[in-house]
A and B are shown apart, each in its own frame.
Chain A
Amino acid sequence: MAASGSSKKILVVDDDPDILDAIQFALEDEGYAVATSEKGEYAENLRDDNGGLPDLIILDVLLSGKDGRLICRKLKGQEETRHIPIIMISAHPGADRSVREVGADDFLAKPFEVDALLAKVARYV
């Protein structure tokens, strides 16, 4: 796998700590560098300073008190963050269409196959 200095950075945002944990395991096993956050604000206020922006964001649709789709729309609307691919996840399969409308690059319905997640990540990162 790629050396840690040049490994891709993935930001995972979900309000469930166990899902964050499991996704982190799955991605780190594939050699990615993973940052996690339970709070939507962290993703909303992403800035390109010390540390840089992630190479991909995995974002939950339903965050506690926040709609992940609005965060996606904001990030896609900002010059700085527009280029970052966003894969949105949700327990509600019907969310697929609505996340595309806010510019998400892809969607996965929970519970998903790890291989499916890894395949999509590899595709966009």
Chain B
Amino acid sequence: MAADGARVGQRTDRLRTLKRGEERFRPLLEHSFEVIALLDRAGVILYTGPSTRRLLGYAPDELVGRNALELIHPDDREAIAAALASLLAEPGESGAAEYRLRHQDGSWRWMEGAWANLLDDAAVGAIVGNSRDVTDRKALESNLSYLARASKLLSASLDFDTIWRNLTELAVPHIADWCAVDVLHERGVFDIAAIAHRDPEKLALVKEYREANPIDMSAEFGLPVIVTTKRPEYIPLITDELLVAISKTARDLEVVRSLGMTSALSVPLVVRDRGIGAITFVTSDSRRRLTETDVAMAEELAARASLALENATLYAEARGAVALRDDFIAVASHELKTPITSLKMYTQVLGNRTARAGDERTSRLLAKMDAQTNKLTRLVNDLLDVSRMRHGRLEFYDEAFDLGEVVAEAVEHLRLTGEEREMRVEGEAARPVRGDRDRVGQALTNLLTNALKFSAPSEAVVVRLTPGTAEATVSVRDFGIGIEEEHQRRLFERFYRVDDPDERTYPGLGIGLFIANEIVTRHGGVMRVASAGKGQGAEFSFTLPYERGTAGGTDTGDH
């Protein structure tokens, strides 16, 4: 009993000493930016400095006798209790920690505290701590990392719907309890792009209200003004009068009242300097209001969203432009075929007439003219093919077929159009190959046409088929003017034309060869060119995979 009394007496003495010291250091203590506290071994507050009122809202004496841990945020308590325990283990030990303390008004403040165990110090006999309010710094850190995350998320997609979704996810619940994105439609009205509410039940109410109250474009406040002026509208406190003012019907009022809106903010979305819509943030939790910091965050979010939208718009426009060009080429080829159709008919009618009249010479000339219109037609079709190929829109069928047959057909087809030079076919494929029969025929025809073009009238063109393990090889050999090595590499580029200083150029090698190469590539094959040089002719070859299950040797099954 006496011992206890002595201890209490000691403590009282110490406190008196402190108080006297406090008088001396009062000015220092009062203006401190830190909360100064003394705790006993159990964590009970013995003393807090005068700055406590300013920083935490408590009268200094108010906290004496309470356990410091009570004031600490439940989520931080365990860590702080552990820190306290380790502090107690070592006399003279000091440590620092971050934790949240409850302000007198109920809000939480982030504190950064430095503590020392001076229990065994005769002059102090307590745990001493200085704590600084770092709420703003923490908020800033949190906001910065939030904005970084927002940037990443919003820029990750070029799809409008995904951007809206990501935007509302970022807004709720971080900034507000619910959020709506409105986009100005071409027709001059607003479309709701997205709505999100923290409380799914309330979401239905929000939708009901919005649907019943489409935005009045002539209004002098709200979204139309925000989008035109590109300035935000901030209502820090929503009063019941305001609710009454915006409600047209009793049901409206009922709905907005039950939504419990406490504050609202609308921020414009600006793309290429034009307001294209707005994001509206609303808090509906009675303890929550949108602060100036929230306004800043919301504006930052809107800026990032606007950037994402601008990119998405550019992307959509680029794709539209490509689609337009595709259509243009399709329309152009269609249009080109019209005069070719009548030209061909006139030529053939004339040819038939002169043939009937016995004028063979004239008939032959007209037949040559007809052959030219066929070339025109092929070029126009090639143009269409290249355009479709470029955009992955060329259809390829997948079937097994006899390569030898296709080669024979290509040769025959050229023969029918008047080709008189020798075209020899040697070798065989041995097994059916797999791919698009017509496209392979097209590739062969292109190679043959090129070979014929660059051969002299007396020279033949030889097509050779060679069987392999997993694939067959086709080669088209001509004995004409050949191709120099430096040109061989670039030959398959789309519109590459070899320019020879002797003016023996290779016109038309461009499209035909490009298409042939594309076709072969799509079949999983490779096209090669070999030429010993000028005057030595050239050989183009490509491979085609055999039909699965028929290949000899190892068949990995990959084609």
Contact = CB atoms under 8 A, between A and B. Distances in A.
Interface of A: 16, 18-19, 21-23, 25-26, 29, 62, 91-92, 110-115
Interface of B: 333-334, 337-346, 348-349, 352-353, 373, 377
Contacts of B337: 91, 110-111
Nearest to B345: A22
A111 B349 contact: no
A114 B345 contact: yes
Contacts of B353: 29
Contact of B341 (A62, A112, A115): A112
B349 A114 contact: yes
7 contacts: A16-B338, A18-B338, A18-B342, A111-B337, A111-B345, A111-B377, A112-B341
A110 B340 CA distance: 9
A111 B334 CA distance: 10
A86 to B, nearest CB: 19
Given A111-B344, A111-B373, A29 B338 contact: no
Q: Please indicate which of the listed interface residues A23, A110, A111 has the most CB atoms of chain B within 10 Å of its own CB.
A: A111
**8 closest pairs, A vs B, by CB?**
A22-B345, A111-B341, A114-B348, A91-B337, A18-B342, A22-B342, A110-B341, A111-B344
Contacts of B346: 22, 25
A6 B342 CA distance: 28
A113 B538 CA distance: 34
Q: Please indicate which of the listed interface residues A16, A62, A91, A92 has the most CB atoms of chain B within 10 Å of its own CB.
A: A91
Contact of B345 (A23, A62, A92): A23
A112 B373 CA distance: 11
A23 B334 CA distance: 18
Contacts of B340: 110-111
B15 to A, nearest CB: 98
A114 B340 CA distance: 13
A87 to B, nearest CB: 14
B349 A29 contact: yes
Nearest to B347: A114
Contacts of B333: 91
B338 A110 contact: yes
Nearest to B374: A111
A19 B341 contact: yes
Given A19-B338, A111-B373, A26 B344 contact: no
Contact of B342 (A21, A62, A92, A115): A21
A98 B311 CA distance: 40
Given A21-B342, A111-B341, A111-B373, A91 B348 contact: no
A18 B337 CA distance: 12
Q: Please indicate which of the listed interface residues A26, A112, A114 has the most CB atoms of chain B within 10 Å of its own CB.
A: A114
Contacts of B348: 26, 113-115
Contacts of A16: 338, 341-342
Nearest to A111: B341
Contacts of A21: 342
Given A18-B342, A91-B334, A92-B334, 14 more contacts: A16-B341, A19-B338, A19-B342, A19-B345, A25-B349, A91-B337, A91-B338, A91-B341, A111-B337, A111-B341, A111-B345, A112-B344, A113-B344, A114-B349
B367 to A, nearest CB: 12
Contacts of A111: 337, 340-341, 343-345, 373, 377
A18 B345 CA distance: 10
B349 A22 contact: yes
A23 B342 CA distance: 8
A26 B364 CA distance: 19
A26 B345 contact: yes
Contacts of A114: 344-345, 348-349, 352
Nearest to A109: B337
Contact of A29 (B342, B343, B352, B373): B352
Nearest to B340: A111
Nearest to A117: B345
B352 A18 contact: no
Nearest to B356: A29
A62 B339 CA distance: 15
B332 to A, nearest CB: 11
A23 B341 CA distance: 10
